[in-house]
Chain A
Amino acid sequence: GQNIDQPTEMTATEGAIVQINCTYQTSGFNGLFWYQQHAGEAPTFLSYNVLDGLEEKGRFSSFLSRSKGYSYLLLKELQMKDSASYLCAALDSNYQLIWGAGTKLIIKP
């Protein structure tokens, strides 16, 4: 079956760095997405990786290892507004998105 695993909840301190991990098992693979979802709002796109390696975009970076079925989202210089759920989603061979349950990130002052 197809499956996405990510931690349910994480806590970090303002100004620090946090890494949210995601492992996936899909029928084929056409890339991995990270979305941010604030409470009561729709998800918004953060990043897309299809090749191995690190993609950096400002304070946020995303890493992919296709051989390990593994990705992470790295958030630097955490701000209170980064408190949100972070959804990992893999694109399978049919170009369907398989979604993880999301990681709720709590930022403390």
Chain B
Amino acid sequence: SAVISQKPSRDICQRGTSLTIQCQVDSQVTMMFWYRQQPGQSLTLIATANQGSEATYESGFVIDKFPISRPNLTFSTLTVSNMSPEDSSIYLCSGRTPGYDTGELFFGEGSRLTVL
């Protein structure tokens, strides 16, 4: 199975600040995704991180608020910008192995952000 490392695991942030979450995957992973999971709710896809180009954002998410980088195949960052209490959530990095239509998703440990 693929290994995905994510940091920080948790942080408490002040309103108006920005935080960058880092995600490192092993070489088995070809596609990378960023999800948000608010307490008691399902996973919401923020964007697909594309290597060397702009991420593909889902409806309701924009690059100015959630800039994403993926400079190489195995590393990606998600920045939560100008945070507000509504951004308090768990942010999950995930990767899919080859076999695009059947490859399972592997998840990082998640980054639990609390915005005061």
| Interface positions of A (Cβ within 8 A of B) | 4, 30-31, 33, 35, 41-45, 48, 50, 87, 89, 91, 95-97, 99-102
83-116 of chain B: CB within 8 A of chain A: 92, 100-102, 104-110
A87-B42, A97-B45, A101-B41 given; A42·B104 CB < 8 A: no
B12 at interface, CB cutoff 8 A: no
Chain B residue nearest to A50 (CB atoms) is B102
Closest to A46 in B: B104
Distance in angstroms between the alpha carbons of A45 and B1 in the assembled complex: 10
How far does the alpha carbon of A97 sit from the alpha carbon of B45 in the complex, in Å?
A: 9
Closest to B100 in A: A95
Give the one of B44, B45, B107 with max A CB within 10 A: B107
What are the residues of chain A within 8 A of B101 when measuring CB–CB?
Answer: 30-31, 91, 95
In the complex, what distance in Å separates the CA atom of A17 from the CA atom of B58? Answer: 38
A48 in contact with B107 (CB, 8 Å): no
Question: Chain B binding site: helix, strand, loop or mixed by DSSP?
Answer: loop
Instruction: Give chain B residues whose Cβ lies under 8 Å from the Cβ of A91.
Output: 101
Bound-complex Cα distance A50 to B101 (A):
10
Q: Give 18 A-B contacts (CB < 8 Å), ordered by A residue.
A: A30-B101, A31-B102, A33-B104, A41-B110, A42-B92, A42-B108, A43-B105, A44-B107, A48-B104, A50-B102, A87-B42, A89-B43, A95-B101, A97-B45, A99-B42, A99-B43, A99-B44, A102-B42
- Find out whether the CB atom of A42 lies under 8 angstroms from the CB atom of B107: yes
Which residue on chain B has the smallest CB distance to residue A89?
A: B43
B88 shortest CB reach to chain A, Å: 15
A65 vs chain B, min Cβ distance (A): 19
A4 to B43, CA, bound (A): 12
Known: A41-B109, A42-B109, A42-B110. A87 touches B43 (CB 8 A): yes
B106 CB contacts on chain A under 8 angstroms = 45
